[in-house]
Amino acid sequence: MPGFELFGNQERKELNDVLDNGVLMRYGFDGMRNGHWKAKELEAELQKIFQTKHAQLVSSGTAAVSVALASAGVGAGDEVIMPTFTFVASFEAIMMLGAIPILVEIDDTLTLDPKAVEAAITPKTKAVMVVQMCGSMGDVDGLQEVCSRHNLLLVEDACQAIGGTYKGKPLGSLGDLGCFSFDFVKTVTCGEGGAVITNNKDYYLNADHYSDHGHDHIGSDRGAETHPFLGYNFRISELHAAVGLAQIRRLSEFLSIQKKNYTILRNALAEIPEVTFRTVPTGGEESYAFLNFFLPTKDIARKTMKAFNEAGVDVCWNYYDNNWHYVRKWEHLKDAKSLYPLSPDIKATLTALKTKKFPQSDNYISRNISCLIKMSWTEGEVKERASKMVKAIQSSL
């Protein structure tokens, strides 16, 4: 991660195909295209790689989550269970539909604890959203079991774990619907973009229509198409899809570079007895986009972060002290700072977060350090980095 590190001729070629005919839109203009349908081609690649019947490209990962939920009928007043540790997109995507985000504890997989999920279920719960954070996955079997027992949708946000697998199946393909992001810092990037994948034909058709103003996409005259239901515009452009197409074809190359760099760092850190690693469920294989490890205490983690900074070890984060990914610092959410009025249900739930405690999540997140795995590092750079990290950790214990 991120895919832009290795931009090259493949990306340039796909992009030039689009610029040569000038059709920047994914729908229509059949005669002008010279046979180039980059979004459609990318959707076909996604179906193949993620072993699912359907893929719908959209304009971002955040849009993918909203479109996925809307396609399965989640909306006003419905509760969606999500983890305390995730990107802000998770609650944004839920609230955009008028649905209510219910935050619950994570476990040492760094995402939803199935026991906490079960305890949070109410008659209003419609869906459980597992966010496969930092290149790995949650207790998929445990979550699926809770969802099927309570007849809930399982939506997988695999934006940070593209290429990871569980029992040989791609992350994103395990739930009822899966979501990906191809934003600028993701393993596969096209600048801005995302995708919803599903084996459910109805959800797919809903996603296809909903992401393009409700258009039914029947026939070849956009003006004559009907609108079976209301939609929005979450379309991807052909320019973005072209870059994404080149990048997705390089996914296995990207994953093997990530794995190589990750393994050098992990083996070095594993020599320190006080360092433990996040739990990857049996049968799971990470995408190796990040290396996550725990230190014995919050103070040692903070000291280590300071030592990393002093030693020039970059792209590592302790999310307890970071504004982006953990509930502790989501003040704008807890204060319900919306530009427009929110429903009383949503407002009450958000305000309650101000006093709500998440001791189990605090325990894991405060002791965790998450390091991005870059693809552009040379082997020498990775080894030098590994020895700097080991020294910094040892000096902080």
Ligand X SMILES: *Cc1c(COP(=O)(O)O)cnc(C)c1O
Among residues 194, 231, 244, 284, the one that binds ligand X under rule CB under 6 A: 194
Q: Return the range that interacts with ligand X (CB under 6 A); candidates 13-21, 33-41, 44-52, 81-89.
A: 81-89
Nearer to ligand X, 86 or 279 (CB): 86
Q: Is the dihedral of CA 73, 78, 82, 88 positive or negative?
A: positive
Which residues are within 8 A (CB) of 5 and not within 5 positions of it... i.e. 6 or more apart? Answer: 374, 375, 376
Q: Show the tokens assigned to 122.
A: 């109410």
Do 56 and 180 meet the contact criterion of CB atoms below 8 Å apart? Answer: no
Do 23 and 394 meet the contact criterion of CB atoms below 8 Å apart? Answer: no
Nearer to ligand X, 54 or 186 (CB): 186
Interaction between residue 61 and ligand X (CB under 6 A):
yes
Distance in Å, CB of 61 to ligand X, minimum:
2
Nearer to ligand X, 61 or 142 (CB): 61
Interaction between residue 183 and ligand X (CB under 6 A):
yes
Among residues 23, 56, 69, 87, the one that binds ligand X under rule CB under 6 A: 87
Among residues 3, 11, 38, 62, the one that binds ligand X under rule CB under 6 A: 62
How many whole angstroms separate alpha carbon 197 and alpha carbon 195? 7
Distance in Å, CB of 72 to ligand X, minimum:
17
Tell me, what DSSP letter sits at residue 106? B
Three-class secondary structure of residue 351 per DSSP = helix
Phi–psi pair at 288, nearest 5 degrees:
65, 25
Interaction between residue 159 and ligand X (CB under 6 A):
yes
Q: Return the range that interacts with ligand X (CB under 6 A); candidates 28-36, 96-104, 155-163, 207-215.
A: 155-163
Which single residue brings its beta carbon nearest to ligand X?
A: 61
Among residues 118, 156, 157, 212, the one that binds ligand X under rule CB under 6 A: 157
- Residue 28 CA, chain-centre distance (Å), reads 30
Interaction between residue 56 and ligand X (CB under 6 A):
no
Instruction: Find the radius of gyration of the CA atoms of the chain.
Output: 21
Interaction between residue 84 and ligand X (CB under 6 A):
no
Amino acid identity for residue 127 in this structure: A
Sketch the per residue contact string, 323 through 362, with ligand X: x for CB under 6 A, - otherwise. Answer: ----------------------------------------
Interaction between residue 370 and ligand X (CB under 6 A):
no
The two counts, helices (H) then strands (E), for the chain are 14, 14
Q: Tell me the CA distances in angstroms from 77 to 126, 127, 155, 177, one per residue in order.
A: 10, 12, 18, 20
Distance in Å, CB of 383 to ligand X, minimum:
28
Distance in Å, CB of 65 to ligand X, minimum:
6
Amino acid identity for residue 256 in this structure: S
Q: Which of residues 125-144 bind ligand X (CB under 6 A)?
A: 131
How many whole angstroms separate alpha carbon 14 and alpha carbon 190? 11
How many whole angstroms separate alpha carbon 14 and alpha carbon 37? 10
Q: Which residues are near ligand X by CB under 6 A?
A: 60-62, 86-87, 89, 131, 157, 159-160, 181, 183, 194
